[in-house]
Structure 1
């Protein structure tokens, strides 16, 4: 049951409803079939489209690029490899699932947060989101100690996207599960058309978005229960099947979605935020 679809983006915002029915999506978020990002038709002759999937220890990332032909296939391939290398390096270096990662070492007290600048950035972001959500996002209130997983994948995606921009690619999508960052235009030349699927009911038509900039962050898209805890009690919460937030930065959108999932319906009162984040929808468990 959909209990909230407030703050729906308006024309001119970062995401708008598509103009008509029957639109074929460029990306499918949260779908358990039909891998996203497979469209190949309608690409302008002066563009080169590249796609790649990156498996890591905790998730799978996908990238779709629509790059100027003048960059050449070699230049585009180098940009793609650089972004992929960033995603893999973050997984190796910061994933809480890896015992030797910096986050795991920090959890065990072997290093301090300021030992490495990127680690300090992750910790600072977690602290900022704890403050911004009145403690509903709290990377220190999870079993086992500090765990930035609620925003780490979004942080990784944003860093990979920055690598693409530095290489001169301004039209791309980088996504994982039901989280995505897009910029510019899709290979067909229009806004990115994004289908967001229901977390458990695959027969439902997906929510459709059109975006040229921004992020979509979701907590609970897999339908897996007990994966978010109430930071105030330490107990798993299941107010929602999924909570989806849109805004400028995926790490922040992910953290807000996690906080909303933890807080339940009471958390809806905090949106839209002053820094530009809106609830797209929140679906109850009943």
Structure 2
């Protein structure tokens, strides 16, 4: 997936946690082997070339493609895994993989809290300690090293924070209508919700929409809050975001 992952697990018997971490790391490597569009031998690359059917791929491929189809439907086509006739599910794979890893670790007996960070997108479950919520810093795309906000999981069992933008990877987000890089007034969209699979998709879709349409659409989604930053250094937020800051 071309990014760095970090795992934070609280509680649980050490040997069981270590074994679960080993399984998660192996699973993340397997996700890259299956879904990478940069590997000629990946199942997704072979699926794109017509060498495999979905039924011949690992079951996770059908699962991810079904989730992507739902994201495309809910975003009115602004999220898509098809660009110029080519299959590219990378826009959903990372969030899905991080969320799956977090849930796998949280299932270890005795574990009270988990936070998994994949390239700056975070899925947290449970709590890190007594009376302490997970907190996630959101980088300021216009001020390297600074924070635009800190998101708190206080009162929540699940918190996902995903950011899409141009600060780290340049103009990599595609406008599904044109198949070319999205041209909008935004430099970053951060979406907060319970599940990273969806938060990651919604951040990508809203960025492609632009600040006005993107904010209105995000406001319409249940259990979703967002922070949008424009190239003109204007900050726009959904109405309930303030309750998640801390």
| 8 Å CA contact 1:79, 1:167 repeated in 2 | yes
2:78–2:208 Cα contact (<8 Å) kept? yes
Which shifted more, 183-192 or 145-154?
183-192
1:108 aligns with 2:52: no
Give the ranges of 4+ consecutive aligned residues of structure 1 lying more than 4 Å apart after TM superposition.
none
1:117 aligns with 2:64: no
Task: Give the count of matched residue pairs.
Answer: 225
Alpha carbons 1:195, 1:207 under 8 Å: kept: yes
Structure 2 distance, partners of 1:82, 1:203, is 33
* Stretches of structure 2 lacking an aligned partner (at least 5 in a row): 233-246
Q: Which residues in structure 2 correspond to 1:106-185 (within 5 Å)?
A: 106-115=47-56, 116-140=58-82, 142-143=83-84, 145-168=86-109, 169-185=111-127
Instruction: Determine if the alignment matches structure 1 residue 268 to structure 2 residue 215.
Output: yes
Q: Aligned to 1:241, which of 172, 177, 187? A: 187
TM-score scaled by length of structure 2 = 0.84
Equivalent position of 1:80 in the other structure: 21
RMSD: 1.9
Q: Is residue 47–residue 54 contact of structure 2 (8 Å, CA) maintained in 1?
A: yes
**Contact kept in structure 2, 1:223 and 1:241, CA below 8 Å:** no
Give the C-alpha shift of residue 84 in structure 1.
1.4
Counterpart of 1:251? 197
Closer, same or farther: CA 251–60 of 1 in aligned 2, 3 Å: same
Q: Structure 1, residues 179-228: CA drift from partner, whole Å, max 9, x if none?
A: 10001112575001221111241254441121142201111163433201
Q: Which has the higher mean CA deviation after the structures are superposed, 121-130 or 230-239? A: 230-239
| Matched residue, 1:63 | 7
Note if contact 2:35-2:89 (Cα within 8 Å) is conserved in structure 1.
no
Name the SS of the counterpart of 1:171 in structure 2.
Answer: strand
Choose from 197, 201, 206 the match for 2:143: 201
TM-score for both structures, normalised by structure 1? 0.73
- 5+ unaligned residues in a row in structure 1: which ranges? 1-56
1-structure distance, mates of 2:103, 2:125: 11
Alignment partners' CA distance in 2, 1:128 and 1:178: 24
Instruction: Please state if 1:92 is matched with 2:37.
Output: no
CA shift, 1:242, in A, is: 0.8
Deviations 1:32-63 (A, max 9, x none): xxxxxxxxxxxxxxxxxxxxxxxxx5111110
Q: Distance in 2 between matches of 1:143 and 1:63?
A: 36
